[in-house]
Amino acid sequence: MQLFWRRGSLLTVAVLTLGAAGVAGGMWIASRRPPAAGTAASRRATAPGARTAAPAAQPAQTEQRITIPPRSTFLAAIGAFHLDAALARQLVAAARPMYNLARVQAGHQLDLVRTLAGVPEALGYQIDAGHTLWLRAPASAAATAPWSASIEAIPFVTRLVGVAGTVETSLFQAVEQAGEHDMLAVDLANIFGWDLDFYTDTRPGDIFRVLVEKRFRHGQFAGYGQIVAAEYVNAGHPYEALRFHDRGGFLAYYQPNGRPMKREFLRSPLKFDARISSGFSYHRWQPILKYYRPHLGTDFAAPTGTPVQALGAGVVIQAGRYGEDGNMVRLRHPGGYETAYLHLSRILVHVGERVSQGQRIGLVGMTGLATGPNLHFAIQHDGKFLNFETLRKSLPPGAPVPASLRPQFDALRSRYLPELERLQPAPAVATAAAPPARNR
């Protein structure tokens, strides 16, 4: 009947906040750092039958491309095109209303398009991943007519690419080593986050395989589209996910058996329906202490020894005796949720242990401040206590692929799973051993 547990609550909020900041920081850095081209090319396996969603723009036959060298200027860089000096100055003047070519950056590209006769017709400067400055020769033959300038968006080319890697230390490390960006690791962690905690569950030798849409502009990586199919093999146990639309047309990820990756919480911390002896309240009379204080949880009256189950998959972050709370188990779940189970007569898990949804984690008791055997259950989201009695009425069921869409889903599965399975991850560099045998 304890009102709410206090120990560790603030600490946990702080840790979660730091964790989130850490991930966001990583993403931010990664988004500004292109992968090393050599690594990417040598390690990335392209899925057999990988398609190009849009045809690559066909460069003009006469197009010539240079990459601006370090510490170069625009005029020095276009020296490689062997343009006459007057035209070069004319280009700088033509660009000025739109863009100052004194600001060109090393590593960016210049494209010169010539007519079949070799006369310069257009010059493109890639300003950033999404924009090109185009300078175009006048349509009239008059040599004095000015060139025109415009800044144009570069269209995406989307390709479905297969990527595989082996974990040495973390998913981030494995994804980077496969020549990809941190963002892909974040996307994978979101898909598998209901089954796995990538901060604690990753093991050296774990494997990821993914079919992902990659966007390119002028041959340069410009971001990820959606993950189409993915697999993560954790300590020999494979988890697979396929992108599919649900009844409402929304895209979601499903296991190959059609069940959703994202699973909701169970509707009760007890296997069997139990009477609620005291509800969630900010103002409740405490019968033992004899004063009002908030009761930020739900008490279920149940006989001592009744099994208590984990509301959802998670990690045990506390398991032990905590004063008024008695024997308590506290779990951390994906998505910023935590649940706590108080007054237990027995604790069946230990700190750091992973528990699955519905797993027995303890037995009902009356340890700590309790007038009789009961389970005090509390749930928090991002540190804020939620009223479970209201919450559980609104928990949407994790709906599987509906029967009417099953043929489509099965077709998708038989198309992508074999493609995924063919991806060969590079072995971990540290061990340089063959990837661990797959447990199938």
Sign of CA dihedral 261, 265, 269, 274: negative
What's the closest the beta carbon of residue 376 comes to Zn ion, in angstroms? Answer: 3
Please state the closest distance from residue 291 (CB atom) to Zn ion, in A. 15
Name the residue nearer to Zn ion (CB basis): 91 or 274: 274
325 binds Zn ion (CB under 5 A): no
User: Toward Zn ion, which CB reaches closer, 126 or 327?
Assistant: 327
Q: Which residues contact 140 (CB under 8 A, 6 or more apart)?
A: none
Question: Which tokens is 36 given?
Answer: 């090393």
With CB under 5 A as the contact rule, which of the stretches 7-15, 48-56, 344-352, 375-383 interacts with Zn ion? 375-383
- Residue 343 as a binder of Zn ion (CB under 5 A): the answer is no
Does 1 participate in binding Zn ion (rule CB under 5 A)? Answer: yes
Judged by beta carbon, residue 12 or residue 286, the one nearer Zn ion is: 286
Least distance from C-beta 244 to Zn ion, angstroms? 42
DSSP readout, 270-308? BSS--EEEE--EEEEEETTTTEEEEE-SEEEE--TT-EE
Say whether residue 376 binds Zn ion (CB under 5 A). yes
Say if CB 280 and CB 387 are below 8 A apart: yes
Residue whose C-beta lies closest to Zn ion? 376
Q: Looking at 125-133, 182-190, 319-327, 374-382, which segment touches Zn ion (CB under 5 A)?
A: 374-382
- Is there a contact between 162 and 50 (Cβ–Cβ < 8 Å)? yes
Q: How far is the CB of 393 from Zn ion (least distance, A)?
A: 20
What string of DSSP letters covers 327-383? EEEEEE-GGGEEEEEEEESEE---TT-EE-TT-EEEE-B--SS-SSSEEEEEEEETT
Q: Which of 194, 198, 159 is nearest to 23 (CA)?
A: 198
Cβ distance to Zn ion smaller for residue 289 or 429: 289
| Alpha-carbon gap, residue 192 to 332, rounded angstroms | 16
* Shortest distance in whole angstroms from residue 323 CB to Zn ion: 14
The one segment of 9-17, 209-217, 282-290, 372-380 that binds Zn ion by CB under 5 A: 372-380
Per the listing, tokens 């069921």 go with 397
Distance, in Å, from the CA atom of 140 to the CA atom of 151, rounded to the nearest integer, reads 22
Contact status: 330 vs Zn ion (CB under 5 A): no
Distance of CA 3 to the CA centre of its chain: 36
Q: Choose among 381, 320, 326: nearest CA to 353.
A: 320
Considering only the stretches 26-34, 38-46, 307-315, 369-377, report the one whose residues sit in contact with Zn ion under the rule CB under 5 A. Answer: 369-377
Assign 3-state DSSP to the chain and report helix, strand, coil percentages, each to 5.
25, 35, 45
Strands 281-286 and 157-166: unpaired
Enumerate residues 267-286 that contact Zn ion by CB under 5 A. none
CB of 297 to Zn ion, least distance (A): 5
For Zn ion, the closer CB: 120 or 368: 368
# chain residues binding Zn ion, by CB under 5 A: 3
Instruction: Tell the smallest beta-carbon distance from residue 180 to Zn ion (Å).
Output: 48
* Site stretch for Zn ion (CB under 5 A), options 7-15, 184-192, 299-307, 388-396: 299-307
Q: Which is nearer to Zn ion, 232 or 280 (CB)?
A: 280
Pairing mode of beta strands 298-301, 327-332: unpaired
Q: Quick one: which of 195, 299, 325, 419 contacts Zn ion (CB under 5 A)?
A: 299
Site for Zn ion, rule CB under 5 A: 1, 299, 376
